[in-house]
Amino acid sequence: QVQLVESGGGFAQPGGSLRPSCAPSGSIVSIKAMGWYRQAPGKQRDLVAEVISDGSTKYADSVKGRFTISRDNVKKMVYLQMNSLKPEDTANYYCNVEGSTGWESFGVWGQGTQVTVPS
């Protein structure tokens, strides 16, 4: 069973930076996509950034130029470098990984890591 462990959220002043990371565990043969989503209280969970197997990336318009997603193919980890943070970035950030164990495909979510940027 594939599980994700997230870390690196926390508190940052406006204009500051954070770098959450996500580490999958379990028997993983290949990864199709790794992404970060966020959900603020009372709102839906939205895509923040995604990197797929060919290395191409996609970002929400609200974070373009400020956030950078990257992956370590050896460790199978994904990172989200968050710069120039704004109060509207406050949310619970969830990692999502899609891939294959060799005998089945999977799509799993992390437990979430809180990011708080005060106004």
Q: Is the pLDDT of residue 102 over 90?
A: no
The DSSP H or E segment spanning 39 is: strand 30-39
Confidence tier at 20 by pLDDT (50, 70, 90) = very high
Percent of the chain predicted with pLDDT > 70: 100
> Phi/psi at 15 (nearest 5 deg)?
90, -10
Task: Quote the Cα angle for 33-34-38, to 5°.
Answer: 130
Reported as a single tens digit per residue, the pLDDT across 37-47 is 999 999 999 99
Q: Retrieve residue 102's tokens.
A: 């060799």
Q: Retrieve residue 11's tokens.
A: 């508190």
